[in-house]
């Protein structure tokens, strides 16, 4: 996604082969509503962890709102703990669900430390294996108190050492939740599906009238993300106003 809209990830292969409780399409009553728009605040450093945390039950419901119940019923769910994301619900279809926090965005984002950001996201198995791990590792570093310059240095070293790898073919994720808050300018934006490819120039994206948006990779996050808005939210309600 672009810096203005991304929520836009510990391997989730371990989630496969496990059972999980079926879920409904819509979040239960305990799921929190999306925060209302607020004036942009310059967050230059990480805020206290409590500002990024959620009640686990609410966070599970939020994560499951990222895609329809046909996918969420058998998916594993991660929630933010004191040292990183932790498995809250074991899964059996290889999909990984979580609520992204602000440090999933590019390191140069003005909202990199924004504690209001909540991005319900559902990664399919190829993305769970290849795209998500760097963001989960970054979360561990963030919660350990690592500074942004050191995060960038560690990330580059992990890329050079092949600890972080290119997206597997077919990597995609669903961000179809009305419950999210991706940034201060766009709120939950539009329901969309994201496709992950190795760093590339996304020709034709981000142009007037184009149905595809893109966040192109850089030296720290060398993954290009192509975003295709869809017509309905995960609960089946139409996107109003729909993306042109």
Write the pLDDT tens digit of every residue in 119-135: 999 999 999 999 999 99
Q: Are 133 and 10 in contact (CB under 8 A)?
A: yes
Asked if residue 106 is part of any domain, the answer here is yes
Average pLDDT of span 174-203: 89
Average pLDDT of span 7-21: 34
pLDDT category, 92, cuts 50, 70, 90? confident
Average pLDDT of span 162-173: 96
Average pLDDT of span 50-73: 93
Average pLDDT of span 18-47: 52
Residue 244: predicted pLDDT: 56
pLDDT category, 22, cuts 50, 70, 90? very low
> Does residue 212 surpass a pLDDT of 80?
yes
pLDDT category, 185, cuts 50, 70, 90? confident
Asked if residue 33 is part of any domain, the answer here is no
Q: Are 217 and 224 in contact (CB under 8 A)?
A: yes
- Of 120, 123, 157, nearest to 141 by C-alpha is 157
Asked if residue 27 is part of any domain, the answer here is no
pLDDT category, 204, cuts 50, 70, 90? confident
pLDDT category, 157, cuts 50, 70, 90? very high
Asked if residue 4 is part of any domain, the answer here is no
Q: Tell me how far the alpha carbon of residue 213 is from its chain's centroid.
A: 16
**Mean pLDDT, rounded, of the chain:** 83
Asked if residue 152 is part of any domain, the answer here is yes
Identify the three-state secondary structure at position 242. coil
Asked if residue 193 is part of any domain, the answer here is yes
Lowest mean pLDDT among 41-45, 91-95, 169-173, 211-215: 41-45
> Does residue 20 surpass a pLDDT of 60?
no
> In sequence order, what are the beta bridge partners of 96?
76, 123
Instruction: Please state, as a whole number, how many other Cβ atoms lie within 10 Å of the Cβ of residue 60.
Output: 24
Q: Tell me phi and psi for residue 81, to 5 degrees.
A: -110, -165
Lowest mean pLDDT among 20-29, 38-47, 148-157, 159-168: 20-29
Domain hosting 171: range is 13-19+45-229
Lowest mean pLDDT among 36-40, 143-147, 224-228: 36-40
Count of domains forming the chain: 1
DSSP state of 112: T
Asked if residue 61 is part of any domain, the answer here is yes
Integer Cα distance of 109 and 130 in angstroms? 23
Average pLDDT of span 56-62: 95
Residue 242: predicted pLDDT: 66
Asked if residue 1 is part of any domain, the answer here is no
């Amino acid at each position: 996604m672009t810096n203005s809209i991304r929520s836009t990830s510990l391997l989730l292969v371990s989630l496969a082969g496990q059972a999980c409780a079926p879920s409904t399409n819509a979040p239960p009553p305990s799921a929190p509503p999306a925060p209302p728009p607020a004036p942009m605040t310059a967050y230059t450093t990480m805020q206290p962890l409590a500002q990024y945390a959620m009640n686990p039950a609410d966070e599970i419901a939020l994560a499951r709102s990222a895609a329809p119940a046909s996918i969420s019923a058998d998916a594993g769910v991660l929630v933010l703990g004191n040292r990183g994301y932790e498995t809250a619900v074991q899964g059996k279809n290889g999909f990984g669900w979580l609520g992204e926090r602000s440090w999933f965005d590019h390191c140069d984002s003005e909202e990199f430390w924004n504690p209001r950001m909540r991005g319900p996201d559902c990664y399919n198995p190829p993305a769970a294996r290849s795209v998500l791990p760097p963001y989960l590792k970054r979360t561990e570093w963030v919660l350990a108190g690592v500074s942004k310059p050191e995060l960038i240095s560690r990330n580059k070293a992990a890329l050079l050492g092949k600890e972080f790898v290119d997206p597997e073919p077919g990597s995609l994720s669903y961000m179809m939740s009305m419950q999210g808050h991706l940034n201060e300018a766009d709120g939950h934006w539009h329901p969309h599906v994201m496709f992950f490819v190795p760093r590339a120039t996304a020709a034709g994206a981000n142009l007037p009238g184009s149905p595809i948006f893109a966040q192109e990779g850089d030296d720290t996050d060398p993954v290009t993300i192509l975003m295709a808005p869809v017509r309905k939210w995960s609960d089946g309600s139409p996107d109003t106003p729909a993306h042109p």
